[in-house]
């Protein structure tokens, strides 16, 4: 597979991923509203959301979506490197994105309910650790990508947008309250914008 096709495949992965994750979370939140309410979720206080959706009656769909979304992030990251200037900074940012995808896959391990009378389980600890991995890799990757974008005219106009998204995402990521909705929405939109831009960098001589 030539470079152009790799970039195109990565862009499709990046386009599909946020739409898939956002759609599944939204639909399952509606379908499992009674269940989520029973374990402490409220619209203004999204306790155990969205991870708790994997514990509900349609939980297997959420679990599968975590796995697919993580894989799509990794494919997107690997393809993104072919569209960026070659540098150590670019390589580090790509590897951080790959690790963020791996962290997403790690979310398939069932979470523990926040409100419970039993000790933490090993799979709950693994789930929480995967969530932390995402936070410690995705946002640093975005910061570094901003510096990489500065060196490429095709990406340069996304630098400020990327850094503003990070500035909003960092505090909201660690909050358990209403602000977490904004984190998730901001990141999904950022990923979609990056994927669409990557799609536009596919060489014109690459056939469909």
Report the distance separating Cα 121 and Cα 83, nearest Å: 42
> 42: which DSSP letter?
B
pLDDT of residue 207: 53
Whole-prediction pTM: 0.92
Among residues 33, 52, 58, the alpha carbon closest in space to that of 43 is found at: 33
Report the distance separating Cα 60 and Cα 65, nearest Å: 8
What are phi and psi for residue 133, nearest 5 degrees?
-60, -45
Cβ neighbours, 10 Å, residue 66:
25
Q: Which pLDDT tens digit goes with each residue over 37-80? A: 999 999 888 889 999 999 999 999 999 999 999 999 999 999 99
Among residues 111, 169, 179, 110, the alpha carbon closest in space to that of 140 is found at: 169
- Domain residue limits, the chain: 3-110+120-200
Q: Which pLDDT tens digit goes with each residue over 130-152? A: 999 999 999 999 999 999 999 99
Within 8 A by CB and 6+ apart from 29, the residues are 36, 49, 50, 53
């Amino acid at each position: 597979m030539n470079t152009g096709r790799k970039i195109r495949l990565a862009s499709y992965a990046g386009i599909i991923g946020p739409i898939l994750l956002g759609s599944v979370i939204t639909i399952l939140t509606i379908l499992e509203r009674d269940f989520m309410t029973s374990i402490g979720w409220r619209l203004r206080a999204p306790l155990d959301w969205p991870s708790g959706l994997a514990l509900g009656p349609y939980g297997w769909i959420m679990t599968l979506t975590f796995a697919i979304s993580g894989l799509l992030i990794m494919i997107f990251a690997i393809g993104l490197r072919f569209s960026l200037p070659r540098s150590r900074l670019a390589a580090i940012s790509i590897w951080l994105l790959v690790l963020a995808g791996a962290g997403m896959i790690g979310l398939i391990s069932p979470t523990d309910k926040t409100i419970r009378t039993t000790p933490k389980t090993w799979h709950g600890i693994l789930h929480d650790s995967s969530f932390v991995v995402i936070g410690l890799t995705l946002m640093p990757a975005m910061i570094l990508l901003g510096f990489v974008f500065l060196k490429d005219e095709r990406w340069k106009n996304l630098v400020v947008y990327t850094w503003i998204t990070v500035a909003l995402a960092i505090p909201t990521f660690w909050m358990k309250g209403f602000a977490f909705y904004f984190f998730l929405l901001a990141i999904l939109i950022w990923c979609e914008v990056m994927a669409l831009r990557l799609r536009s960098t596919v060489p014109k001589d690459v056939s469909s």
